[in-house]
Amino acid sequence: MRDLGAGFHYLLKGQRWVARHGKQYGFGLIPGLITLVLYVAALVALGTWGEDFVSWATPFADDWSGPWQGLFRGFLTAVLFALALLLAVLTFTAVTLLIGQPFYENLSEKVDRDVSPDGTAPESGLPLWRELWISARDSLRIVVRALLWAVLLFALGFVPVVGQTVVPVIGFFVTGFFLTEELTAVALQRRGVDLRARLTLLRSRKTLIWGFGTPLALAFVVPFVAVFLMPGAVAGATLMARELLGEETRDGDDESDDDSDEWTLSGEPGS
């Protein structure tokens, strides 16, 4: 339970950090806004032509009589749109981070410098194109894993009682884990931590990860909200990544830009 609270603390701490650094927050909004426009356009297109697509994909139902054809195709259309929404939630962070790689790298570095005892930030030393390639490749791998979970949970959703109670809760925990992986990847990739090592690291502190990612997953159900929380989520994930790696972190005042001389291990948030 302590780790759950600590994870949520990092989520709030990241939001407070960007609130105190308005310029970084403003730049951090740009990728999310671009992604939101693209996703809204795709969902509008699906809402407009989804029924036609289902009709094209089910020619065997053309000769069905009575209400069965309409009920069947209406159900498939609803399922298609529901899956599209789920896919949008699962991939929004990955796509936004890919589009905003330079923005979020800069933001994450500034967070590191702000809280690092020596005022420095780790650098990957890789050219931008290489960082983009690694980010895209790893994001695709995570999206595939997330989709497999999504399909499993969607199928379990048809189980009476359990599908309407337990499965949605599990779904938010799973989504929260993958969201956190994508967000911490900004800081961890800069430190040379590859995908396999990142997953091992996050699994070793699951309750901390759930405390950070699950509330975020609940908020990210509304993509418009996700746009405004994304910069703070990147900042908070950077702070949490320092704890996961056991890095020393300056314990400044969350509410101001006071440069405190006190230092604590990042494993003691808010001490």
> What is the reported pLDDT for 200?
93
d(CA 235, CA 154): 32
Angle at 28 between CA 222 and CA 46, to 5 degrees: 35
Task: Please check the confidence at residue 258 and state whether its pLDDT lies above 60.
Answer: no
> What is the reported pLDDT for 251?
64
pLDDT band at 269 (very low <50, low <70, confident <90, very high): very low
> H/E element holding 231?
helix 223-244
CA atoms within 13 A on the CB side of 267: 6
3-state SS assignment for residue 264: strand
Task: Please check the confidence at residue 131 and state whether its pLDDT lies above 60.
Answer: yes
> What is the reported pLDDT for 61?
78
Overall average pLDDT of the 186-210 stretch:
91
Bridge partners, 248 (sequence order): 265
Q: How big, in percent rounded to 5, are the helix, strand and coil portions of the chain?
A: 75, 0, 20
Of residues 97 and 29, the one with the higher pLDDT is 29
pTM: 0.76
pLDDT 10s digits, 95-125? 888 888 888 888 999 999 999 888 888 887 7
Q: How far is CA 112 from CA 109, 117, 243, in A?
A: 5, 9, 12
Q: Domains of the chain: which residue ranges? A: 2-30+102-246
Range with top average pLDDT, 51-65, 69-83, 123-137, 178-192: 178-192
Q: What's the distance, CA 227 to chain centroid?
A: 11
Q: Phi and psi at residue 207, in whole multiples of 5°?
A: -65, -35
d(CA 98, CA 100): 5
pLDDT 10s digits, 6-20? 889 999 999 999 999
Other beta carbons within 10 angstroms of residue 173's beta carbon come to 14
| Contact present, 238 and 114 (Cβ < 8 Å) | no
pLDDT band at 70 (very low <50, low <70, confident <90, very high): confident
3-state SS assignment for residue 260: coil
Task: Please check the confidence at residue 208 and state whether its pLDDT lies above 90.
Answer: yes
For the chain, percent of residues with pLDDT exceeding 70: 91
pLDDT band at 262 (very low <50, low <70, confident <90, very high): very low
**Mean pLDDT estimate for the chain:** 82
pLDDT band at 259 (very low <50, low <70, confident <90, very high): very low
DSSP string, 121-164: -------HHHHHHHHHHHHHHHHHHHHHHHHHHHHHTTSTTHHH
Q: How far is CA 256 from CA 103, 115, 270, in A?
A: 23, 13, 14
